Every structure is written in C-alpha cells, then in structure tokens.
Chain A
Amino acid sequence: MNGIAGRPSSDGSSGSDNIRRLNFAVVMIKQWEIQSDPAKLREVRTDLENFTRSIGMKDEASNAVGLVLNEALANIIRHGYDGATDKPIRVTAEQVEKELKIVIRDWAKPFDPALIKPRYEDELKPGGLGLICIRKLMDGFKYERLPDGMLLTLTKKLV
C-alpha cells in the first residue's frame, strides 16, 4: 500500500503501512494481522525483511530480523497456542528515526521466558533457540504479560 502522510496507522488492517510525522521524526509503519498458521510464516518473514530493506537496513540485519520474527511467531504457535492454526497474532513494525521497532501481540496463554533454560546446557537438546536468536540478534527485547495474552517488543538499530 502507499504511504499516507500525516495520518496515523494502527487501524488494525492487514498488511497496512503508513507514513506520519511526529516531532519531525518520519515514521514508517507496517502491520500484519495473521492467524497462527505455520504456512503464513514465510510470507510474513519475507514481507518484514522487504520492509526493513526499504527503510535502509542492510541485508545481514534484515535477515536477522526475519529470523527473529520467524522464531518469535513459531514460539507463539507451538507453545502459546499449542499448535492451533486459527488464532490471532498481530505484528507491527515501525521505523522511529534510526531504529526499527517490532511489536508482536498474541492472545495466547502467557509464559515466563525466564523459566526457559538456555539450550547450551545440553548441546543436543533442542529448544530455546528462538530466545537465543532474539537475545543475540536484536538490540533490545521486552516481554510483557497482559491479562489476555503476551506482548513482545523487539528493537534494532538501523545499520
């Protein structure tokens, strides 16, 4: 979709993107409303990578962001929604000056990421790699437990 100057987004529509001015900072926003279907992962991942490239992120960083989104969504699908494929997930990506911010909202059962043990304790025990990717590849992340789900905020500098 084309950007619309001076009009905030967050209208909940699928795959929307906008441009707005806030205190002289140009902000690009794109939002996806998807179901918890693994078949959607590739499309959203690729779309986000294209978005990050369009705002000036280099290929390596864009690939990292795509992987992190994939892992975050896969965790929600597998653990939050127990593999159900028809539950809602909202992803919002926005550029604020020199930083990319991604917010992932789900309505799944909440969890405490601190309780997940690092996989490094046993090299041949799968699991926990998604969180390792988030920690290693993003500049910041924050999980918030909401009354009806979880909110994950990821940030990465545009380089």
Chain B
Amino acid sequence: MADAKLNMDLVSTPRMEGDAAIISVRGDIDLHNSPELRTAILETISKKPVKRLILNLSQVPYMDSSAIAVLVEALQKLRPTGGRVMLVDLQPRVKGLMEIARLDTIFVLVASEQQALTM
C-alpha cells in the first residue's frame, strides 16, 4: 500500500471552533486514498480535545468501506469522552452506503456545518 501522506486536495486544513474540529473532504474516497483521510482525522483529534468532529462531505460523491472504516475508527476514539462524529451534506451514493452499513443512525447526519455547530 502507498504511504499515507496528507493530500491537501483530498482533505482541507482542519479548522477549530470551540470544541469542534471541522474538516472538508473532496473527491472519491476508496482504498487508494482513505489512508490520507485517516491520517488527517487522527492527527486532528490527537492534537486537541475534540467533542465534535465535523466532516463536510458535500464534495464527496463516492466512498467505499475503507472510508467508512476510517469514520468508524474516529467515532471509536471520540465516544469514550462523549465526542461525536458529524457528517455534513452526504451525497446520494455515500448516504446509500451508510444505510447499507446501517451506520446512518450511528453518526450525526446534518445538512450544513452551521447546523452541526449549533447541536
């Protein structure tokens, strides 16, 4: 497998707002680049206490099970301290996969970053 290197085209620089970390993701995510997403998320939540990890997925038309595994891992790390993973503006294919995986009720699905910040 390729080394996981942070690709700014895939993942934005994380933005902190209070106890929330906001990351925007762009493009298809599959086994090829999901390690980059994993690196970005784990680095973010390890640097500061994060109660809400807000992932803007409005520009992610496709993801596979390796991307889902990254999201689940993030949730596993945040849950013990009461943290949540909030997914913003899921595109139809991504939402469909979430439903197949029965994870649409495990994550907090929201329409906008603003909505996530008010929850």
Taking Cβ atoms with an 8 Å cutoff, the residues of A that contact B are 38-39, 41-42, 45, 63, 67, 70-71, 74, 77-78, 83, 85, 119-120, 123-127, 129-130, 132-133, 136-137
Q: What 9 pairs between A and B have smallest CB-CB spacing?
A: A126-B69, A129-B65, A38-B32, A38-B31, A74-B31, A83-B1, A126-B72, A39-B32, A41-B30
- Most A CB within 10 A of own CB, among B79, B93, B96, B101: B101
Measured between beta carbons, the chain B residues less than 8 angstroms from A42 are 28, 30, 32
A3 to B28 Cα, complex, angstroms = 30
Number of B residues with CB within 8 Å of any CB on chain A: 24
A63 to B47 Cα, complex, angstroms = 37
Measured between beta carbons, the chain A residues less than 8 angstroms from B72 are 124-126
A38 to B69 Cα, complex, angstroms = 16
Taking Cβ atoms with an 8 Å cutoff, the residues of B that contact A are 1-2, 28, 30-32, 64-66, 68-69, 72-73, 75-76, 79, 93, 96-97, 100-103, 106
Measured between beta carbons, the chain A residues less than 8 angstroms from B75 are 124
**Are A67's CB and B97's CB within 8 A?**
yes
- Contacts A67-B64, A70-B64 given; indicate if A132 touches B100 (C-beta within 8 A): yes
A45 to B62 Cα, complex, angstroms = 11
A70 to B96 Cα, complex, angstroms = 15
